[in-house]
Amino acid sequence: MSTTTAPAPTPQALFRVGPPIRAGERNRMTMDLGRDSGLTPTAALGVLLDDILGFTMFERRGDRAGLVSADLSVDFVRPTGWVGGQLVAESRLETLTTDGGMSSVRVVDGAGRLVASGTAWGNFLDGVDQERTSAAPTAPDPSPLPWAPPIELLDGHLERTEFGARLTVPANRALANAMGVMHGGVQACAYDLVGNAAAAAASVDSLHTSSLRINFFRPVSLDGPAVFEAEVVRSGRLVSVVRVTGRDATGRDCGVATVTCRRDTDETTPGC
């Protein structure tokens, strides 16, 4: 009697992200929210954002072998109260150089309201084997994995520190990208989670992440736990700023992020 081992889930399956779809000069990708749109935090958008921005540059790489994320900048315009069962991300290429490129993205909810906007720079690579899903008019998986909080998807451990917070993410091949290292969108999720936790611990008010700026220095190996260390730079009445450093299991700095958090308030109609 033979048994078949189910393949490990991918970051896309964990975060319910569909394949890229070409739409003229733009690329489109969706993220399934199901009935949990009111529960999903901004940290869950990392894989969607990194994937669509990266794919938009990757497919225009010419004869270069691959692409890595160099930096990611995101503004969360509407961090809560999303409408509908999915988010739609639409990306376009903004510039292309011999070293890489820059793409932009807009994410909207089911009512067409802007949820997030951002940009990313990517660096081209040679001599690597980097496969990505081909863009095709394929519908998202009709049976995605059940929704779970991002901290559970990462199997992460959050703890308070003297200056902020620390997030430890154990080695897990389900968090890998095509090259076998931690997916850039998973890192974005971790930076958001720990940055927001540090800001919230230093504030008496409820806070949401309003922007995320990441510089990726080197790959995060999955041979051991990765640690994301957050330090509160400024804790204000309305806005808090946190600096986060990501390190691999050897203690090497792999990236740095600035996470800005704002006090939760009710949305008003523009002009009122």
Tell me whether residue 6 is in a domain: no
Number of domains in the chain: 1
Spell 24-61 as b/e; 16+ CB within 10 A means b.
eebbbbbbbbeebbeebbbbbbbbbbbbbbbbbbbeeb
Mean pLDDT lowest for which of 31-45, 46-60, 215-229, 247-261?
A: 31-45
**What number is the average pLDDT over the span 60-69?**
85
Tell me whether residue 207 is in a domain: yes
User: Which CATH number fits the domain that encloses residue 157?
Assistant: 2.40.160.210
pLDDT of residue 133 exceeding 90: no
Tell me whether residue 213 is in a domain: yes
Phi first, then psi: what are they for 114, rounded to 5°? -70, 125
Tell me whether residue 130 is in a domain: no
Mean pLDDT, the chain, rounded, equals 89
The tens digit of pLDDT for each residue in 200-209 reads 999 988 899 9
The tens digit of pLDDT for each residue in 138-180 reads 444 445 677 889 999 999 999 999 999 999 999 999 999 999 9
Whole-prediction pTM value?
Answer: 0.91
Domain assignment of residue 112, given as a range = 11-123+150-263
